[in-house]
Amino acid sequence: MSGDDKKRALVTGASRGIGRAIAQELASMGYDLYLTCHTNIELLNKLAQKLHNQYGIICKCYAFSVCSEADVAKMFEEIPYLDVLVNNAGISYIGLLTDMTYQEWKEVIDTNLNACFLTCRCAVPEMVRRHRGKIINISSVWGNTGASTEVAYSASKGGVNALTRALAKELGPSNIQVNAIACGVIDTDMNKCFDESEMEALIQEIPADRMGRPQEVGELVRLLCTGNEYLTGQIITLDGGWT
């Protein structure tokens, strides 16, 4: 397989948690991968080697801030095209709005929302030229409903949802599908900020009576990557029935 026949995917924030599970799923489907992390390049390189050994695919790893316009552009100089773009990198802030600095606000918005703009802007031209592509944005139920003490995170994910719907309309005529997965409580390091009692109270509100697994997000990404070119502009909620 060579040239335009090779399947290629980019996953941001892939060193652990949801991003790692998505990378594993795409590798099992035969995608060559471009994977990013912020600082933990050693962990990302170990994942890349594991996926190469297991599936024979090629992995290229990058460590930089996903909201750095220059670094994103430099990475895309090494990417001839993408079949799948998964915007997964994200950070959270828990605390009162009035206790949040403007810099902390900007970091959340930059990482969770503005980074999606940067990767999409770079990936879309070749997708349009090839008249195919999938863009999958990892969002949150808090982008749908809002969360007390997570105003910046909720705002950023609400922006991701709006970006998803609007870009799907813009790219629909070019046979490019844009969807988002609004995750509920997934068992990742991001939720380790909650103590045991807080987590138990949270799980009691979930009809499925448990947190979601990163692998379940990866499985949904797999479904969105396979066919069904009529499914676009959707915010698909994966939350165990919470909403």
Asked if the model's pLDDT at residue 68 lies above 90, the reply is yes
Instruction: Give pLDDT, residue 73.
Output: 98
Q: Say what percent of the chain tops pLDDT 70.
A: 98
- The Cα–Cα gap between 2 and 7 comes to 9
Instruction: Give the gyration radius of the chain's Cα atoms.
Output: 17
Looking at residue 1, its pLDDT comes to: 46
pLDDT at 227: 78
Is residue 70's pLDDT more than 90? yes
Q: Is residue 148 part of a domain?
A: yes
What is the predicted pLDDT for the residue at 3?
Answer: 57
Name the phi and psi angles at 47, rounded to 5.
Answer: -65, -45
Q: Residue 4: what pLDDT?
A: 66
**Average pLDDT estimate for 211-215:** 97
Please check whether residue 230 lies inside any domain of the structure.
Answer: yes
Is there a catalytic annotation at residue 230? no
**pLDDT at residue number 112:** 98
pTM of the predicted model, to two decimals? 0.95
What does pLDDT average to over the chain? 95
Task: Identify which of 54, 61, 4 has the alpha carbon closest to the alpha carbon of residue 35.
Answer: 61
Q: What is the number of domains present in the chain? A: 1
Catalytic residue among 55, 62, 93, 153: 153
Q: How far is CA 71 from CA 63, 115, 119, 121, 122, in A?
A: 9, 11, 11, 13, 12
Domain for residue 174, yes or no? yes
Does some domain include residue 243? no
Residue 50 has pLDDT above 50, yes or no: yes
Residue 62's domain is classified under what CATH number?
3.40.50.720
Q: Of 85, 82, 232, which is closest to residue 168 (Cα–Cα)? A: 232
Which structural domain, as residue segments, surrounds residue 125? 3-238
Q: Which helix (H) or strand (E) holds 136?
A: strand 133-140
